Amino acid sequence: MRVDSPVRPGLRMECADGRRLVLVRETAGRGAVPVLFARQRATHRGVHYARTGRYASPLAPLRAERARAYARFAEPGGEAWTGRWAAHAEAGLRAADAGPLHEGAWRLGPDVSGWFVERHWEHLLPYDADRGHLTWFGYGDPDGDARDLLPLRALSAVEAPRVRAYRRQYREGVLPPVFAWWVSGLNVPVVLDGHDRLAAALAEGGRPRVLVLSRAADAGWVALCSERPVRAYEERMAALEEGPLRAARAANAARALAGALEAVAASAGPTRAWPHPGGVPAWEAAAAAYVPGWRPDPDG
């Protein structure tokens, strides 16, 4: 999708010195409020983060009637159902007072990169700390640090009224998706909307459907990354021998190429970050004020 404005969104990443990040939420007439501080490890093995408890979704709360209507319209999880929820989220984000959209090309849809690792889902509920660490590549970090989705507020208790209502929707098969936003500086999607839906699906022993918002990848980068699968396809086709299985093998190769090219085309572009006003001293002062006592290891 193409977005023409604003130049600077209300929900945005800001950075100081490259490794210090802060997600701020700015609404008309109320100024910018930090909702998440983060500091990348000098070793490039992960990121320390601290939530401030001041996040609010840019989307209006979902009503159960809408969830059931969409499920009647199309099979939950199917292409039509996903498309309708993506259109719903796009319209809401375009109209939001403090959303992440700014001018440029964007993508909103299911993850096709294979980002979400099955065994990491079970870490989200027990390791949902307001101050924590996300590992990027393991390196002996605690298992709980291996999480593929970062909530921007604490997940509600599994017996909370709203979570219980969503758990019922999950059992009925009509639970709406979680809407996430890929933030490249964190190397993880953050939950834009659907914290209670996420908790509900996990409480039921299931997995939420997730639609990920991201900047569209640069066309030149897509073309460059497409060269390898195209070359591999051409080499495979050239090596196929004549015979009764040639057509089937050629069809399999074509499907593999199509999947690889789809994944490249749908890959996320880098998230834009604006300079944090005042640089490092201002970032340090804001972190001390909003998350007092937080001391991320600068070299860990």
User: Higher confidence at residue 298 or residue 30?
Assistant: 30
- Name the pairing type of β-strands 31-40 and 11-16: unpaired
Q: Are 22 and 290 spatial neighbours (Cβ–Cβ below 8 Å)? A: no
- Give me the pLDDT at residue 300, please: 56
Mean pLDDT rounded to a whole number for the chain: 91
CA angle 39, 44, 47 (to 5 degrees): 30
Least confident of 20-34, 71-85, 216-230: 216-230
pLDDT in tens, 89-114: 999 999 998 999 999 999 999 987 88
Least confident of 126-130, 235-239, 278-282: 235-239
Residue 221 binned pLDDT confidence (cut-offs 50, 70, 90): low
> In sequence order, what are the residues at sequence separation of 6 or more whose Cβ sits closer than 8 angstroms to the Cβ of residue 117?
146, 148
pLDDT in tens, 155-184: 999 999 999 999 999 999 999 999 999 999
Helix, strand, or coil (residue 250): helix
Residue 234 binned pLDDT confidence (cut-offs 50, 70, 90): confident
The residue behind tokens 């909103």 is: 108
